[in-house]
Amino acid sequence: MFEEAQYFAPVTAQEDGSVVVELASSHPGFADPVYRARRNAIAGLAVGYRPGAPVPAAEYTEREHEVWALVARELGVKHAEYATAEYLHATRRLGLPQERIPQLEEVSELLEPLTGFRYVPAAGLVPLREFYGVLADGLFHSTQYIRHHSVPFYTPEPDVLHEVIGHANALASPRYARLYRAAGEAVRRVEGEEALEFVSKVFWFTLEFGVMREAGELKAYGAGILSSYGEIEEFRGMDIRELDLSAMGTTQYDITKYQDVLFRAESLQHLEDVVGGFWDTCDDDSIAKLVASGL
């Protein structure tokens, strides 16, 4: 999930118990009453969800399954060229369905035996502390809706394709899953808002938009790149910088555009040493020093 409030359509519960997703007028599904109703119904599942219960199934339409099948197939082709070997290996281990949208409960059943992670539903934005904190418990907050069928290769917000193809495939790798947990433990440890934001930005520039050198080529492991049909073709041409905690934790980014500044790990081991090591040990004081050195 992305972490900025304006990226998510606001979700409101009405007095009569119904749930309304307020899509912006620029959203591809804004003028489609059938899509709007689907979004409201799916958000209602997450609003009604209680922790510990099975995740309610979203009854997807054929058209929605077709969007998944099309995008999953095309991304699969791109992954063979642009994704890290660790991500590709994890993808094969997880074995997500290609022709239909998997239910979140099904994703959990595939994922939990591999790395202990389970998916829980999110109607929209989840507060940073909650979203990251429960990663330490092996829980991942995920939206369930899918993008509008008129533009299958574009979404203005994180949908189930991003959450599952981007994140669940990575979470099927014990090494990436350990990094997600470490980010959660870091968020549980830090107290101030500045430190929380720093940890979340390091997450953004690594597990969402990280790239890595592998066998002399630049590969992507970040879920935001690996779930974006357009971005995956473009990332090698971006401003690629060395992995640097101070820079990652203080660089501003615009979530509404392709990410034009990316940080490159020299290997997975390098990522684990620098970023995993940071999340394993950081506290408010150590982050304050990194902020000061990044300014």
Residue 206 or 250 with smaller CB distance to Fe ion: 206
Q: Report strand pairing: 211-214 vs 261-265.
A: parallel
* Catalytic residue from among 27, 79, 141, 162: 162
CB of 138 or CB of 290, closer to Fe ion: 138
Of residues 173, 200, 227, 228, which has the active-site annotation? 227
The one catalytic residue in 163, 208, 214, 231 is: 208
Stretch that binds Fe ion, among 11-19, 76-84, 174-182, 217-225 (CB under 5 A): 217-225
Decide whether 164 or 186 has the Cβ nearer to Fe ion: 164
- Nearest approach, Cβ of 183 to Fe ion (angstroms)? 12
208 is catalytic: yes
- Give the range of 20-28, 183-191, 223-231, 274-282 binding Fe ion by CB under 5 A: 223-231
Check 108, 167, 228, 231 and give the catalytic one: 167
Nearest to 262 by CA among 214, 185, 205, 224: 205
The site for Fe ion, by CB under 5 A, has a size of 2
Residues 155, 150: Cα–Cα separation, whole Å: 10
Report how far residue 288's alpha carbon sits from residue 119's, in angstroms, rounded to the nearest whole number. Answer: 33
Q: Give the distance, in angstroms, between the CA of residue 111 and the centroid of all CA atoms in the same chain.
A: 15
Three-state DSSP class for residue 119: strand
Number of CB atoms found within 10 A of residue 40's CB: 17
Beta strands in the chain (DSSP E): 11-13, 19-21, 118-121, 139-142, 211-214, 217-220, 239-242, 261-265
| Spatial CA neighbour of 94 closest among 190, 25, 164, 37 | 164
Q: How far is the CB of 284 from Fe ion (least distance, A)?
A: 25
162 is catalytic: yes
Give the integer Cα–Cα distance in Å for 167 and 222: 8
Cβ 62 to Fe ion shortest distance, Å? 27
Tell me if residue 27 is catalytic: no
Instruction: Return the range that interacts with Fe ion (CB under 5 A); candidates 14-22, 55-63, 177-185, 221-229.
Output: 221-229
Of the listed pieces 1-9, 34-42, 180-188, 242-250, which binds Fe ion according to CB under 5 A?
1-9
65 is an active site residue: no
The residues annotated as belonging to the active site are: 162, 167, 208, 227
Binding site for Fe ion (CB under 5 A): 1, 223
